[in-house]
Structure 1
């Protein structure tokens, strides 16, 4: 009988010790994992909202998303038709305008304002800036020229200007990110 009591007591002590170690382990792991999550300022920078109500057709603005420039452009019907008239076979990074815009909002082109060559900021979003020979954007660093759909047409840039994730939250506000 004494042996059975000893085994049971030993089992209880083992279970209690393992349980205490498990609780202590969770108590250590939770703070370590939670300190790796993004802080409030990082979460706030993960998206940005842009009011597009004052952007006239043919006009573009610069905004900031994740500390990088973003171009928001209201394309004119002429710019849309010019972009659609370009044969995809002539493009280095072939994409249609429809692939770069949202359905029903083809006049709104939203791209990162960073040249895909070496990361310079192209001209063409500000009033009176050089838009290059294709009417889109022009990178003054090494001469990359983009068309009205922000597709690379000339120069050393290997890819089109990047289109970030975005959605229209209303007719006058777009949320980027």
Structure 2
């Protein structure tokens, strides 16, 4: 079977991102050089995403994705704790170097959502995603514009009938 090693043409010349890629490549080769498609299936991401990470065009999304990537590259087998810790450490430093900030807080995800995309009472702080949320201002602006255009939220057919809309039956 031909080896499907990571494409090194766009790797950084030095630094923590390069070290992270070398570590991931070593785990990848040591465990049979699985294809990006197989690794992506194990990670529940696209093969393109795995390819982008492997060639250095993107960093993993967060520390958890680094751990999942290592496990997938190892073929579901356990990686040494030191290897995992080193990969996470390199990821954090590479991310901080790239973004100039960090560490990134993890926001709890509410288990139950109420009307209009807001969490139900007592289900968390309202953060709909985990990790950094650089788009949160954009999301709020879109929600506000949608509220202005549509009016108040409607919860179902009874509200539509009351407002003079179609009965929905």
TM-score (ref. length: structure 2)? 0.22
- Greater strand percent: which structure? 1
Structure possessing the higher radius of gyration over alpha carbons: 1
**Relative contact order: is structure 1 or structure 2 higher (C-alpha 8 Å, sep ≥ 6)?**
1
TM-score scaled by structure 1?
Answer: 0.21
